[in-house]
Structure 1
């Protein structure tokens, strides 16, 4: 039976201060390990943005698995991470047939896996996740085009027992639900709630404003942020923040609410300092550490 709809709870500073994140430990092991899986030979930047956001959210250790042609360059750009090259198809995507086993090997030692930043081929993305997701056991974030797996397998995340988060924009949310695009734009809370209940996962929908929905019917809204966040790479940063918070020990709904709100507040800060539009996605994550301190009351 579907949960009865409830009035969305606004995400505010007071709300988050009363919903404290796990206390940071004294070393990198205590703040969790994250694996980011994504990219193509043409989109290494998306992986870089997401991976840096994981660390800016306070996660302790980071691994990145991406296409072989760009792995070495990404390792230089991201010296904080272990970067693992994966087999690649002729068109530059991760090879669904050959990459899944290596990803599963890496995923066995982490606290959260982020799947999807930089994916660009729907079929290749779906096939990779079909080989991978049913064998995952821990917390997972499926970002953007990784939702193609959920479109094809509506119950495909149930085995994770509510430990999955879908980070989508309104267009991706509508496609995953197989409904007209304007439906998610007009009522993102209702659309996010529908997908959360259908998949047993938390859904974070980010557009102009954000909506978060949990499988039990709880919903939240965030009115911070602005049009400047509608820029290439912004969603990769948000997904990385959510994954990093999951690794630190936040529960999925908490990670989605905190991650979405941090992303929005960073956008507001950059809009005031740089301009309403024109700031870059690469600038967002750098605002997060002091915002975390502020929201924690430090």
Structure 2
């Protein structure tokens, strides 16, 4: 796995996670060789909404490779009104209700009033596979809506969606379709959080607590 980030963030990234291959990227010229080598691109977490962010997003969107879009990638696409011209089949969009409300141009209250209808509408707008995160995360690729009945309220913390995006990307890289990658990622993510909560409780749960639990779920060490 490679992480493309601004040059001033490289040291902090390596200190936090030395296993990751971190690359300083200050322009699209630095990013394109990484894009060429990538099997899957996950973009959005930590991206920001500035000129650099816009350049990075447009470079990622220019490729035909599978994508996972989250956080500020979704916000920038909405801001630039790009969904209508993109609507790709080989990506996964993972909005939380706030991001989804901006995509749909509806209030969060309206969206949450009928989450099943909302995820179907989101899929029509975004294309590909869509995960509407929240209590009872939903996945739709256009024909069927899948409901995840795992997970817990402790997951409502910063960074939890970033972990989900990473799992989606990993499964896409292993050859799963966007629909199946999204479905399985949501399940693994929720079950890993349930495992952690079983060990320590919901209070104080943080996103990185899931790192040790995810392999347990994947390797069937936790049912």
Structure 2 length as normaliser, TM-score?
Answer: 0.90
What corresponds to 2:44 in structure 1? 116
**8 Å contact kept, 2:139–2:182:** yes
C-alpha distance in 1 between matches for 2:194 and 2:222: 18
Per-residue deviation, 1:135: 1.4
Structure 2 equivalent of residue 45 of structure 1: none
Q: State the 1:188 CA deviation.
A: 2.2
State whether structure 2 residue 79 is matched by structure 1 residue 140: no
For 2:55 and 2:120, the matched residues in 1 are separated by 27
| Greater helix fraction, Structure 1 or Structure 2 | 2
Q: Does the CA contact (< 8 Å) of 1:227 and 1:277 recur in 2?
A: no
Tell me: CA distance 1:295–1:142, structure 2 relative to 1, closer, same or farther (3 Å). Answer: farther
Gaps of 5+ in 1: 1-61, 88-98
Aligned length: 221
Does residue 203 of the first structure (1) align with residue 130 of the second (2)?
yes
Cα deviation code 1:142-187 (max 9, x no counterpart): 11121023322123433x4x11101111111111111111122222
Equivalent pair of 2:195/2:222 in contact (CA under 8 Å): no
Of residues 63, 72, 82 in structure 2, which corresponds to 1:153? 82
Which gives a bigger RCO, structure 1 or 2 (Cα 8 Å, sep 6+)?
1
RMSD (Å) for aligned C-alpha atoms: 2.1
**Is 1:291 matched with 2:220?**
no
Matched, 1:104 2:104: no
Is 1:191–2:130 an aligned residue pair?
no
Paired position in structure 2 for 1:233: 159
Moved over 3 A (4+): 123-126
- Rounded to whole Å, the distance in 1 between the matches of 2:33 and 2:148 is 37
Any idea what SS the aligned residue of 1:165 has? strand
1:63 paired residue number = 2
- Partner Cα distance (1:225, 1:194) in 2: 24
Given that 2:153 and 2:202 are in contact with CA atoms closer than 8 Å, whether structure 1 keeps it comes out as yes
Superposed counterparts of 1:32-71, under 5 Å: 62-71=1-10
1:259 aligns to 2:180 (yes or no): no
CA contact (8 A) 1:71 1:83 kept: yes
Asked if residue 82 in structure 1 is aligned to residue 21 in structure 2, the reply is: yes
Q: Distance in 2 between matches of 1:210 and 1:235?
A: 11
Q: Which residue of 2 aligns with 1:127?
A: 54
Q: How far does the alpha carbon of each residue in 1:69-91 deviate from its partner, in whole angstroms, 9 at most, with x for none? A: 1112312432222211122xxxx
Structure 1 length-normalised TM: 0.69
SS of the residue 1:108 aligns to: helix
